[in-house]
Amino acid sequence: MDQERFTELLNEDLSTEYQSIVQYNLHISTVTGPEFVSTIDELTKHLSQELNHARVLAAQISFLGGEPTTVVRDVPETTDSRGALEADLRLEQAQLERYRERFSQASDLGLADVGEALRPLLQQTQEHVQDLLTALGR
Ligand SMILES: [Fe+2]
Ligand SMILES: [Fe+2]
C-alpha cells in the first residue's frame, strides 16, 4: 500500500458517499408507513452528515495530490420501505468496514493527520449503522 493507492481508495470512498447522498435523498421522499415516521427524521440527519463526509474526503484527496472523483456509485433499486432501509444499512456497513481499513492504513502510511480527519466519518458511520438497525427493529 502506497500513498497513491490509498488516495484511490479514498476516491472510491467518496463515490460511496455520493451514493449515500442520492440514496438518502430518494428514501426520505419514498419511505412510508407509520412505523418509519421517526426514521425519516434520522435519514434526514444522515443526509447532511453524508455531505460533510464527502467534503472531508474531497479535501483529503486534494491534500494528498489526487483529483476528487465526481463518480456516483449506483443506487440499488428497492421495492418497499423495509427493502430501502435494508439497502441503506448494507451501504453503511460497507462504509464502516472501509473507514476502519482507511484509518489503519493512514496510520501505517504515517498519515496521522489524515487519520484524524477520517475519525468523525468512522464514528458517525457507526452511529448510522446503529440507527438503521434500530429502525429495522434489530
Ligand atoms: Fe457517510
Ligand atoms: Fe452514513
- CA 57 to centroid of ligand 1, rounded, Å: 10
Instruction: For 85-124, give the DSSP string.
Output: HHHHHHHHHHHHHHHHHHHHHHHHTT-HHHHHHHHHHHHH
Per CATH, the number for 3-135 is 1.20.1260.10
For residue 42, give the ligand nearest its CA.
2
What is the CA(2)–ligand 1 centre distance, in A?
24
What the block records as the C-alpha cell of 18 is 455520493
In this prediction, residue 57 carries a pLDDT of 98
The single-letter DSSP state of residue 36 is G
From the CA of 130, the nearest ligand is 2
CA distances 7 to 21, 61, 85, 138, Å, are: 21, 6, 30, 35
Q: Where are the domains of the chain?
A: 3-135
The residue written with cell numbers 427493529 in the block is: 137
Whole-number Å distance, alpha carbon 95 to ligand 1 midpoint, is: 7
Which numbered ligand comes closest to the C-alpha of 126?
2
Give the span between the Cα atoms of 45 and 138, in whole angstroms: 20
What pLDDT is attached to residue 65?
98
Number of Cα atoms under 13 Å in the Cβ half of residue 28: 14
Q: How far is the CA of 50 from the centre of ligand 2 (A)?
A: 6
Contacts 24+ apart (CB under 8 A), 25-30: 26/75, 26/84, 27/84, 27/85, 27/88, 30/81, 30/84
Query: Tens place of pLDDT for every residue, the chain, 138 residues?
Result: 999 999 999 999 999 999 999 999 999 999 999 999 999 999 999 999 999 999 999 999 999 999 999 999 999 999 999 999 999 999 999 999 999 999 999 999 999 999 999 999 999 999 999 999 999 999
pLDDT score at 37? 94
Is the model's pTM score more than 0.95?
yes
Gap from CA of 56 to ligand 2 centroid (Å):
13
> Ligand 1: distance of its center to the CA of 125 in Å?
6
